[in-house]
Each structure stands twice: as structure tokens, then as C-alpha cells.
Amino acid sequence: LIKDEIRKIIHVDMDAFYASVEQMDDETLKGKPIAVGGSKERGVVAAASYEARKFGVKSAMSSKMAAIKCPELIFVKPRFKRYKEISTQIQNIFLDYTHLVEPLSLDEAYLDVTRNKKGIPYATDIAIEIKKRIKTEVGLTASAGVSINKFLAKVASDYKKPDGLFVIKPHQVEKFVEQLGIEKFFGVGKVTREKMNQLGIFKGKDLKKFSKVELKHYFGKSGEYFFNIAYGLDTREVNPNRIRKSIGAENTFSEDLKTKKEVRTFLKPIVEECWRRAENANITAATACIKIKYEDFTQITRSKTIPTAIETFDELENIVSNIIEEIELEKNVRLLGCSLSNFVNQRTEAKQLTLYL
């Protein structure tokens, strides 16, 4: 198959990270349903404690909806500086084992421990040790997935959450992927799932009924990825220097949008998700971009760059609103996207430094 040695990849994902940090730092929040981000009136939930999840509260849910689902829900203001601080502490634990650490956000990362600094032969032992150290040195729980590639390691870390450890050994890969629901595949959202279901694809094994060409025909570029994943193949390397140029969110609608009013309404949660992701990755940007894909698959993008940085969500909402104002819709809309680019991460620190000087 591949002549290279079998890789040992770990995916570590903190459990309800922001919420757990708040509960750790504030005794009165322990054991209670809390939501980080938003308020009873407006905004989005960035993270929910496990107590809140029991009521159906989830991240990216409007806080209004969250408050309906769980009336005792306590809303807590996010403290990204603190999350970043703990994230660095966790990264430093990872770096004791390998320099091949690729963070995906403040609370999750891939580690390639095939050749690790401590010469530990089993990746599972490393995962156990890392979990233990995060617990004792940081005070939080993490879930870890261990397998031969990124895709499987990430699926595995989600399998036994919270405080979980799940290992997919090389000889188990094929059976595991065959029984895996396609909604667990990274990159399969609601629209893709529905399309797959219509084609009779519900589990990994169903993907194998299709050739690579067929899957490419139905799902474009992602088709090839789905084909490979069905056979447990994912050659993406753990890249410690991955530089992201933009961050964003988008959504394809099951029914095309016809008016600007609809566009505004449906764009709102996308902009919120975009902002949440940027915050999560600790990114500040100067450019906001809106993408509109029409029913005939032609697309337009409109962006606006401001001289300083987009520092608050309200600022972003304003910019987006102005962009939309200036767009003349040509056809019905099937997809909307919002992204941030032109990162200016050091800006706030630079500003503070100037203040001190």
C-alpha cells in the first residue's frame, strides 16, 4: 500500500475547553450549566459545560435558544487571554514529546509521535501520559485519539468524550471506517450528508460502492478525499508551521435565498461562526470578505479592509452590513460565506507596548 512506515498520530482535544476553564477558575460555577459567550438576549454560545449540554445546549447555538433549552443556564463572558495562557501551557506539554505539533485551535492539536523525543514505543502510552499531565499540571481533562493518520486520530478523540481515550490500531482501521456514520467524517455537513443519504451512503462502507470518478462527480474536490478516507487513507502530514491566511465560515442552503432580506437573515449566524472561529484561533484581521454563490454556481466576493483591525464582533457586523448594502443580487443565492484575512495578530500587543513606552 504505502511503503513508508506506519505513522503514530495523536489528536488531543480539551473537553468543553472555555467552559471547563471558567469552572476551574470560579468555584461557584462548578457542576452548573454554563455557557461561555452571549447573553440571555443576544449572541452565540462559544462553549457549553457538560451540565448545560445535558439540556441540549451546544456551541454555535444562539444564546436565546440556549436560554430556552436550559432556563438555569449561566452566561459567562469569555476570557481569551486566559484560554490562550492555558493553551500555551498544554502546547508545552506536547512539545516534551515531539516538535511535530499542529494546533487546530486553542484547544486541540495533532501530534506526530512516530519518532518521539522520549523514545516511547507506543503512542497509546504517550496519550495516557499527556492526559495525566494535563490533569495534574493544568487541572483540566482532555480526550485523546490515537491512530495511523489525522482523520482517524480526530475521529477517535471524539469517540469516548469527555476524558476519553480511544485507539484505532492499524489492523482495525478498515472495519472501523466501514461502520462509521458519514456524519462523523470531517467535512460532512448537513447538505453533504443529505446528498450522501440520497445516494444510499450512510456509513463508510457505502462509500466503497462508488469509484473515485463517481465521488468526484457528485462531491467535487471533496469526492477524492471521501474515496481515500473510505479506505482509511489520509496522507496529510502533521505540520507544525501551518500558516493560515484566512479563516471563515460558509453555508449552502437547502433552498435558494431570493431576497436581500433573506440573505441578511441567513448570513448572520455565518458571520457569528466566522467570528467565533477567529477568536478561537486567537486571530485578529483587517479584511472581511463576503462570498455569494448563485444558483447557477457563479460566485462573487466583496471585501473591505480597514486600516487598523476588526477588533469587535459589532465592528465586523457593521462592515458586513455595509458590504451587503452595496451588492445588487443578480440571481437566487445558494451559498453564503464570510471570511477574515490580512491578519494583524500582534496589533493589540503592539498597542499595549506603545502605551507602556
Active site residues: 108
Number of residues engaging Mg ion in binding (CB under 5 A): 4
Candidates 48-56, 105-113, 145-153, 256-264: pick the segment binding Mg ion (CB under 5 A). 105-113
CB of 18 to Mg ion, least distance (A): 9
Please name the residues in contact with 257: beta carbons below 8 A apart, sequence gap of 6 or more: 263, 266, 332, 333, 334, 336
Q: Is 12 in the site for Mg ion (CB under 5 A)?
A: no
Candidates 2-10, 81-89, 100-108, 218-226: pick the segment binding Mg ion (CB under 5 A). 100-108
Among 107, 112, 273, 279, binds Mg ion (CB under 5 A): 107
C-alpha span between 228 and 245 (Å, rounded):
26
Candidates 54-62, 107-115, 232-240, 300-308: pick the segment binding Mg ion (CB under 5 A). 107-115
Q: Output the nine-digit C-alpha cell for 199.
A: 445516494
C-alpha span between 357 and 355 (Å, rounded):
5
CB of 66 to Mg ion, least distance (A): 18
CB of 166 to Mg ion, least distance (A): 15
C-alpha span between 204 and 48 (Å, rounded):
30
CB-nearer residue toward Mg ion: 13 or 272:
13
Cβ proximity of 291 and 327 under 8 Å: no
C-alpha span between 268 and 291 (Å, rounded):
13
CB-nearer residue toward Mg ion: 13 or 51:
13
Only one residue has cell 471570511, namely: 339
CB-nearer residue toward Mg ion: 13 or 102:
13
Find the binding residues for Mg ion in span 14-73 (CB under 5 A).
14, 17
C-alpha span between 190 and 172 (Å, rounded):
28
Among 7, 12, 13, 146, binds Mg ion (CB under 5 A): 13
CB-nearer residue toward Mg ion: 146 or 309:
146
Q: What are phi and psi of 15, to 5 degrees?
A: -85, 120
Residue 195 amino acid letter: K
CB-nearer residue toward Mg ion: 13 or 112:
13
CB-nearer residue toward Mg ion: 141 or 318:
141
**32-49 per-residue burial string, b: 16 or more CB within 10 A, e: under 16:** ebbbbbbeeeebbbbbbb
Alpha helices in the chain (DSSP H): 17-25, 50-53, 63-69, 80-95, 123-133, 150-159, 173-179, 190-198, 204-207, 212-219, 221-230, 260-280, 313-326, 347-356
**Binding residues vs Mg ion (CB under 5 A):** 13-14, 17, 107
